[in-house]
Amino acid sequence: MNVRDAYRWIPQNCPICEQSQLKQLGRRGGAAHRANAGVECEIWRCSGCGLIFPNPMPVPINGIEQHYNLDADKYFEHHQQDNKQQSARQLMAEAEELIGGKGRLLDIGAGRGELLNVARDAGWHVIGIEPSARFAEYATSVSGLPIRMQPLEDCKFPDSSFDCVILSGVLEHLYNPDETVAEIARILGTNGVVFIDVPNEQGLYFRAGNLYQKLRWRDWVVNLAPTFSPFHVFGFSPRALRALLSKHGLTPVRWRVYAGRALLPAQRDVGSTLESLGAIMVTALSKMFEAGTYIETWAQKQA
């Protein structure tokens, strides 16, 4: 099979604005990638909210296992478990502060189950969702908790089922982010909170990377990874994420845009070394304004 035939190519409008006024940014993947990774896609930005996505969208014909049928430790090899557990403890402390106590928690994209363990041990009533069978098997073995493997929309939770939903490093992977956030708003109780963190695809790192490609007379972009790891299919900015949350009655109560680690190329040649130095400098500069590489927010469902 031709690798391009491994996907259904679905034309789409912006799922947030539901409009077709888009600006083409460039190409990503395949011949438009330095390592020829994945399949070439056209990357566009919504003229309304600024959401970035491939159009047409490459949807794997064999479902998400086509992308995520991987060993959990291999996929999360850059995620230190001690750091993940510390982050989970911090998240649970913030959630408890925001809702005024412990309650019912849903972790969407449970991964290796670190947050499930921490939340359960802290006294929360916990349910996890992990659509990848291999990741879910790993999380169950580590946490001892049952993991639902279907998408959130198929779980059919009753209204106001949860006090807290965690969507950490997940939204950018979803093919239906608007439907997912709408469902989260439905299953949250009044004053319930959702935690979301995503890459800031309009941050200085991505802008500088795209400018660098133009200076090399390429129509490539560094936004997203629709057909290669880590399989990011939607690119959010502060404006796009606020628009999505507002659309579904969720109000940010805590908001942070931050630089994080510099994203460095995997290669180890002279050109890559120079690019790494540039990435480090850009990441340092991106600490100003809302130009950082990552966004995180706690948003609350209003009465």
pLDDT tens profile 225-246: 999 999 999 999 999 999 999 9
Q: Alpha-carbon distance 136 to 150, whole Å? A: 11
CA triple 117-154-87, angle to 5 deg: 25
* pLDDT higher than threshold 90 for residue 272: no
> What pLDDT, on the 0 to 100 scale, is given for residue 260?
67
Residue 28 pLDDT > 80, yes or no?
Answer: yes
From the list 187, 140, 146, the residue with the least C-alpha distance to 167 is: 187
Has residue 270 got a pLDDT over 50? no
DSSP H/E element including 160: none
- 160-183 per-residue burial string, b: 16 or more CB within 10 A, e: under 16: ebbbbbbbbbbbbbbbebbebbbb
What's the whole-number average pLDDT of the chain?
Answer: 88
- Hey, is 279 helix, strand or coil? helix
3-class secondary structure per residue, 7-23: EEEECCCCCCCCCCCEE
- Of the given ranges (115-119, 121-125, 263-267), which has the lowest mean pLDDT? 263-267
How much is the pLDDT for 142?
79
Tell me, rounded to whole angstroms, the distance of Cα 255 from its chain centroid.
16
Share of the chain above pLDDT 70, in %: 85
